[in-house]
Structures are given as C-alpha cells and as structure tokens.
Amino acid sequence: MESIGYYNGTFAPMEQLVIPALDRGLYFGDGVYEALRVERHRFFALQEHLARLRESLALLRIPFSMTNERLTAILQEAADRVDSDSQQIYVQVTRGTAIRTHAFPEGAEANLLIFSRGVALADLQEYRRVIVLPDTRWSHCNIKTLNLIPSVLAAQAAKERGCAEAVFHKGGIVSECSSSNLLLLKDGVLRTAPADERILPGVTRAQFLMLARELSVPVDETAFTLDEMESADELMITSTSAHGLPVGFVDDKPVCGRDEALLRRLQRAYRAHFWDCVAGG
C-alpha cells in the first residue's frame, strides 16, 4: 500500500479512515502528536519520540494506558503495511470522545490515530530561504500539541514568499521555526536556543548537539538575537523531515556560507548516524 491509517484498533487506507466528530482532537485540538521517520521499515529515534510523547501527554494530563511495547507493535504494523522504504509516520493521541465541554470529560478514553506514507528524505545540499515573523504562539511550546494555527499561518506565509520556513522571534530573540528548530554556527561553535518552554525540544536538535560534542565542536544552548542570526557563519533548520537544511537567505537578504566545511561535516555526521541507527536497531 502507498499509505495506511489506523484509529483505535482499525487499520484502513488513510483516505477512508473515519473518526467520530466528538473526538476532542477535532473541536479543541485537545491532544498531542509525534512525527517519526521510518527507513526500510525501521524507526529512527523511536525511544526519543515515545519519551517526548509521554512528556506531552503528562503535561496536558491526558491518561494513556497503552504500553510503549504495544504502541510500538502498532506503529510497526502500520509501517509494514506501507510499501515505501522511506516513510513519515504520524501518531496522535487525544483526550477521548465526549460531548463538548471545556473541562476534562469523566471516563473518556484516549484516542489513538496513526498514519504513514512514503516521504523522501530532504535534499541537504541546497541553501534555503526563510522569512522572519513574530512568535505569536502560547507559552508552552515545549508541548507537542495539536494546536498549530500560528505555525500553519507562518508556514503558509513562508510558502507564499517562496521560503522553506518561517523563523519565529519574540522581542528580537529567536525561538525556533514554524515546524523545526534553528541551529547557528559562529566561530566554530554550534549554538541554539535552550530547551525551555519557548521551543519544542526537537529530537533532531538533540542529535545534532550530541554529534557535535562527539566531534569536539563546542555547543552553546543560549538564545540568540535576530542580528546574531543574520551575522551567523551558517544556519541550519532541523527536524525529523528536514534533518539539517542550510539557510542562505533571511527575508531575501543573503546570509551565511562562511563555514560550509563545518556545516557539511555536521550534516554528514547526522546522515551517517541516521543510517547507522536504522540499519542497526
């Protein structure tokens, strides 16, 4: 199959999945999600994604009794039903199905939605364009909730300007992008905003920091300003789907390209680590 969907025990082609209108994910966005890469039917960084899913669930106080073993078995079955060697799998857990009242419904059980489809890995070579926008999101961006309207609007604004991403800032301090983190290289140091409530603690971000340390590249988790971003030697957008994309233009202004050797070294280290993980387990 080209794609697969799953909802509370039922597999069906993605386009045919039926979800009850009273799923709180639908009318409140009352749920959390993860997006993972699957290569040759093996997951990348599964434990990290499951840990973040549990953390998001705990922060929203959504009870979800399914064990990681059971969830992993369902994810594996979903991935195995798709022919593609290169997939992106989406997992969503909502607070359950109930008549619409704002406070948590009594006795509702969490709903599990999964879908997977073939998505090729991004090309890491070409420098991308980004726009800068104010970060109008809420103050708990560390939770991977379904409430993504500011990100959706920002991604659309970026697309309309021919850009790959929108970089968010609050009062001139860069947080992250609409659906990725932002890493900066300056004078041989890899810098990115700290993993606090202003950003999603990206799995890819953490892996880049780990690999940099292994390569003896100093890392600095302190926030940077828009000016510092524009005078960076290199910038990289990181996410599950993007891996690490170089940035060459900010709001149509040419930037970066001053430490391509280190940029490419980090990209290569990430791709090598990625293939090792999906090959080895």
Q: Which residues are catalytic?
A: 144
Indicate whether 192 belongs to the interface with ligand PDD (CB under 6 A).
Answer: no
Indicate whether 147 belongs to the interface with ligand PDD (CB under 6 A).
Answer: no
Do the strands 181-186 and 128-134 form a parallel or antiparallel pair, or are they unpaired?
Answer: unpaired
Q: Report the alpha-carbon distance of residue 194 to residue 263 in Å, rounded.
A: 20
Cβ neighbours of 126 (radius 10 Å): 10
Among 130, 204, 211, 267, the residue binding ligand PDD under the rule CB under 6 A is 204
How many angstroms separate the first and last alpha carbons of the chain? 24
Indicate whether 116 belongs to the interface with ligand PDD (CB under 6 A).
Answer: no
Q: Report the alpha-carbon distance of residue 73 to residue 66 in Å, rounded.
A: 11
Considering only 71-79, 152-160, 218-226, 236-244, which stretch makes contact with ligand PDD by CB under 6 A? 236-244
Pair 45, 277: CB distance under 8 Å: yes
Indicate whether 75 belongs to the interface with ligand PDD (CB under 6 A).
Answer: no
Do the strands 173-177 and 165-170 form a parallel or antiparallel pair, or are they unpaired?
Answer: antiparallel
Instruction: Residue 57: name the closest of 88, 96, 11 by CA.
Output: 96
Considering only 11-19, 74-82, 106-114, 176-184, which stretch makes contact with ligand PDD by CB under 6 A? 176-184
Indicate whether 181 belongs to the interface with ligand PDD (CB under 6 A).
Answer: yes
Pair 118, 86: CB distance under 8 Å: yes
Binding flags for ligand PDD, 8-47, as an x/- string (CB under 6 A): ---------------------------x------------
Considering only 9-17, 61-69, 116-124, 179-187, which stretch makes contact with ligand PDD by CB under 6 A? 179-187
- The binding site for ligand PDD (CB under 6 A) comprises 35, 176, 179-181, 200, 202-205, 238-241
